[in-house]
Amino acid sequence: MNYPTRAEIEELSPDERLRLIGDVWDTLNETPESLELSDEHCALLDQRLDQLEKNPENTISRDEMLRKIGKTN
């Protein structure tokens, strides 16, 4: 398998690099069961889920978050 070198990646535009990251991420997303989480990550996810369940009013939707940071109308 041929991987692009760091120099080749650095020659890409920021948009091209983001697309590359997205493509790699998508391949990982196809088999999430193959990724192992550390005990620390599992504990952090459990803690965040507990916080969500106890205080659902403290959350906002993805769309609202994007509006707040000015990414959508």
Which residue in the block uniquely carries the two structure tokens 């948009």? 15
**Share above pLDDT 90 across residues of the chain, in percent, rounded to a whole number:** 60
The candidate with the shortest Cα–Cα distance to 35, out of 24, 51, 50, is 24
CA distance 21 to 9: 11
Mean pLDDT value of segment 46-61: 92
Mapping DSSP to helix (H, G, I), strand (E, B) and coil, where does residue 39 land? Answer: helix
Q: Distance from CA of residue 35 to its chain's centroid?
A: 14
| pTM score, whole prediction | 0.48
Mean pLDDT value of segment 2-24: 94
Q: How far is CA 27 from CA 10, 12, 54, in A?
A: 22, 20, 34
